[in-house]
Amino acid sequence: MLELAAHILDIAENSIRAGAKIVEIEIDENDAKDLLCVKINDNGSGMTKEEMEKIHDPFYTTKKVRRVGLGIPLLNDAAQRAGGKLIIKSEKGLGTSVEATFQLSHLDRQPMGNITTTLLALVAGNSSIDFLYKHRHNDRQFIFDTRQIRKEIDDLPINHPEILKYIRGVISEGLQDIASLA
């Protein structure tokens, strides 16, 4: 994975496989602290202590299709290479929290990538799941919440092409509004 958006997609898909009904994604870019923080929280099935002990092992996975689980080890490596760290908290039956920090200006920090496309893929492919996306850049913040969208669209499915087009516009405009003015 070459971009942080791909890591976010991977972790969010893990949340969905774990039965989450809501996935919260938070990005905090703080220029003054030279810090980028990416958090993904879910209300899925969570992990046991034994599963948590194996989470950094690339040859451990709960997936039935393939026998490797590279997502967490790759995100951990990306965070460490950029002067940050990865913290995972989970409790069986209560969900999981994944937090990766990076030195914002670090030469080896992966680029953010296309967050708009990542969020659209999550919404389009998982119409029964709610997503809360918060992106803070210094003193500006953008919030996208599928629960709010659902209130506005009445009986249309959230993954209807016209709704996805609307969502793309909302996210693109929101991210542009908080982008650096420099």
Locate the domains of the chain by residue range.
Answer: 4-178
Locus of tokens 């039965």: 19
CATH superfamily of 4-178: Histidine kinase-like ATPase, C-terminal domain (3.30.565.10)
Q: How do beta strands 95-103 and 22-30 pair?
A: unpaired
> Coil, strand or helix: which one is 147?
helix
**pTM for the model:** 0.91
Where does the pLDDT of residue 63 fall: very low under 50, low under 70, confident under 90, or very high at 90 and above? low
Inter-CA distances, 9 with 16, 42, 118, 164, Å: 10, 13, 6, 17
Per-residue pLDDT at 53:
84
Distance CA 122, CA 107 (A): 29
Q: How do beta strands 130-137 and 22-30 pair?
A: parallel
Residue 60 has pLDDT above 80, yes or no: no
Where does the pLDDT of residue 114 fall: very low under 50, low under 70, confident under 90, or very high at 90 and above? very high
Distance CA 7, CA 27 (A): 13
